[in-house]
Amino acid sequence: MFTLAEENYLKALFHLESESKDGVSTNAIALKLKTKPSSATDMIQKLAEKKVVAYQKYKGAFLTKKGKLIAADVIRKHRLWEVFLVEKLNFQWDEVHDIAEQLEHIKSEELITRLDTFLDHPNFDPHGDPIPDENGVIKSSDKKLLSELEENQQGICVGVKQSDSKYLQYLDKLSINIGSKIKVLNVEEFDGSKTIEVGGKSYFISEKSAQNIYVIN
Amino acid sequence: MFTLAEENYLKALFHLESESKDGVSTNAIALKLKTKPSSATDMIQKLAEKKVVAYQKYKGAFLTKKGKLIAADVIRKHRLWEVFLVEKLNFQWDEVHDIAEQLEHIKSEELITRLDTFLDHPNFDPHGDPIPDENGVIKSSDKKLLSELEENQQGICVGVKQSDSKYLQYLDKLSINIGSKIKVLNVEEFDGSKTIEVGGKSYFISEKSAQNIYVIN
DNA sequence: ATATAGTTTTAGACAAGTCTAAAAATAAAA
DNA sequence: TTTTATTTTTAGACTTGTCTAAAACTATAT
């Protein structure tokens, strides 16, 4: 069983690993977790003893297979709770992170199994990030930007890149939501703006705006 | 802001106060929280400094007005989460306590407000215990046992006293659930057994069984 | 009223997780 | 290749919440 602090370190390591090829420096971890490098060193050494992290002094750390599983499980919980908060409690996409950060540490396999079922086994969280399955496997997603779609292509909205309230309200006007099917009817060559179809109606969207919306297709 | 441990002490105190007129002994608190009396003393002293507990050495402790509010809030969260677990995730009444024990410490006013709305502002948890409102006020409940009802009286099931799986399955057969309207058609004098009407059908229930079901009317 | 039993508090220790300050190792620059 | 700068680790201290053992208080019984 892992403590809250341990889980947070594993999660941070998981995210940092995917960004940098080499081992992750204790400094980078400290930065991510808003703590001091000395604290990170302490914890990484502890996690190394527990065999969830591989670590050599001054050489950085990375997750072992076991560590990756635990981290993926925490991330799974986090993202499932985010879906719950948005879909069921009507939070906006940008309001849920801090709450999910707490909920992800609730200990109960059964709870997550049932939550997953209740939410109808979602594959993506409200930010468009994939939700690992029960075995920690992350479906390699075809997540791309709406701006990358060409004429007559379509995709399902899985999230947004940056999400401030005003922008979300704008999306509401276009009836774009998670799960919305978006079809590109027309692309304007000179500025990349698009005409799209959402829910039977057509709308106009600028290239800049389309670069902020994630879709899978 | 109160820590998880502090919240648990306040909650324990809240429950213990309602059982005994005098101040609550540190021993009783330790017993309830499965810790040692010395630990309880330490914590009570700390809470006294924070003005949420009134405490005199060797004389026991009780909650101040402020302490009561905080305790009621934790209990509110606990019970709302229990309703969620049972009504939405289909847990059984006896499986939810430990999970709610964790969920009750999640910090977010907004979350609880929305959860309350999502659950349609329930007044009772699955065990029939009343849910304090946003101001910590507990509706004085008319909770009684089904066995106390007389002929032609009726009540709404708000929970059970003891709940093992087998018993819950038995209740399912009688289509008794939280919120079920139960009408007493007939009471057998010599053994207290009853004929009741639930959902348009009539069933037979023993006195012993009726003593296990909470209703309000 | 005094000895005894039971309860409650204090004192000191420990584990987890953090911090600061100083030492050690690595990387960069002259 | 030295020197200098930067990164990383160690050492020691602090906080929270717990514990054990001992001391202080209260209640009980003779």
Q: Residue B19's pLDDT band (boundaries 50, 70, 90)?
A: confident
| C-alpha dihedral, A43 to A49 to A54 to A58, nearest 10° | 60
pLDDT (0 to 100) of residue B151: 81
Q: Which residue is nearest to nucleotide C21 (CA to C1')?
A: A38
Q: Which of B75, B67, B72 is nearest to B125 (CA)?
A: B75
**How far off is chain B from A115, nearest CA to CA, in Å?**
7
DSSP H/E element including A158: strand A154-160
Residues of A with Cβ-Cβ distance to B88 under 8 angstroms: 118
Start-to-end CA distance of chain B, whole Å, equals 38
- SS3 for A160? strand
Decide if B145 contacts B211 (C-beta within 8 A). yes
pLDDT (0 to 100) of residue B141: 60
Contact residues of A toward B, CB < 8 A: 85, 88-91, 95, 98-99, 102-103, 106-108, 110-111, 114-115, 118
Q: What is the pTM of this model?
A: 0.79
Q: Which of B108, B126, B110 is nearest to B118 (CA)?
A: B110
Longest dimension (CA), chain A: 59
**How far off is chain B from A116, nearest CA to CA, in Å?**
10
* Cβ within 8 Å of residue A108, ≥6 positions away: B98, B99, B102
Tokens of B145: 């046992």
CA of B159 to C1' of C22 (A): 63
Minimum-distance nucleotide, CA of A43 to C1': C17
Decide if B47 contacts B9 (C-beta within 8 A). yes
What mean pLDDT is predicted for residues B136-149?
Answer: 82
Residue type, B205: I
Q: What is the pLDDT of residues B78-132, one digit of tens each?
A: 999 999 999 999 998 779 999 999 999 999 999 999 999 999 999 888 776 889 9
Q: Which residue is nearest to nucleotide C27 (CA to C1')?
A: A58
CA of A170 to C1' of D1 (A): 62
CA of B5 to C1' of C4 (A): 37
Residues of B with Cβ-Cβ distance to A78 under 8 angstroms: none
Distance set, CA B34 to CA A168, B39, B142 (Å):
48, 10, 32
Task: For residues A46 and A32, give the distance between their C-alpha atoms in angstroms, rounded to a whole number.
Answer: 18
The bridge status of strand B53-56 relative to strand A60-63 is unpaired
Residue type, B25: S
Residue B143 has pLDDT above 90, yes or no: no
The 8-class DSSP code of residue B24 comes to B
- Strand C bases, protein C-beta under 7 A: 7-12, 16-22, 25-26
| C-alpha dihedral, A81 to A82 to A86 to A89, nearest 10° | 30
- Strand D bases, protein C-beta under 7 A: 7-12, 16-22, 25-26
Minimum-distance nucleotide, CA of B39 to C1': D18
- SS3 for A174? coil
Select from B88, B90, B103 the Cβ nearest to the Cβ of A106: B103
Counted across chains A and B, CB pairs separated by less than 8 A come out at: 37
Q: Residue B198's pLDDT band (boundaries 50, 70, 90)?
A: confident
Q: What is the pLDDT of residues B40-85, one digit of tens each?
A: 999 999 999 999 999 999 999 999 999 999 999 999 999 999 999 9
What mean pLDDT is predicted for residues B21-26?
Answer: 90
Minimum-distance nucleotide, CA of A6 to C1': C17
CA of B40 to C1' of D24 (A): 17
Per-residue pLDDT of chain A (217 residues; tens, 9 = 90+): 899 999 999 999 999 998 887 899 999 999 999 999 999 999 999 999 999 999 999 999 999 999 999 999 999 999 999 999 999 999 987 799 999 999 999 999 999 999 999 999 998 888 778 899 999 998 866 678 888 888 877 788 888 887 777 888 888 888 888 778 888 888 888 888 999 988 888 899 989 888 989 888 7
* Cβ within 8 Å of residue B97, ≥6 positions away: B82
Select from A102, A111, A114 the Cβ nearest to the Cβ of B106: A102
* Cβ within 8 Å of residue A81, ≥6 positions away: A96, A99, A100, A103, A104, A115
Residues of B with Cβ-Cβ distance to A99 under 8 angstroms: 106, 108, 111
Distance set, CA A44 to CA A47, A52, A214 (Å):
5, 9, 34
Q: Work out the number of other CB atoms within 10 angstroms of the CB of residue A172.
A: 11
Task: For residues B195 and B203, give the distance between their C-alpha atoms in angstroms, rounded to a whole number.
Answer: 6
Decide if A21 contacts A56 (C-beta within 8 A). no
Q: Which of B63, B31, B35 is nearest to B50 (CA)?
A: B63
* Residue A35 CB-density burial (10 A; 0-12 exposed, 13-18 middle, 19+ buried): middle
- Report the share of chain B in percent with pLDDT over 90: 59
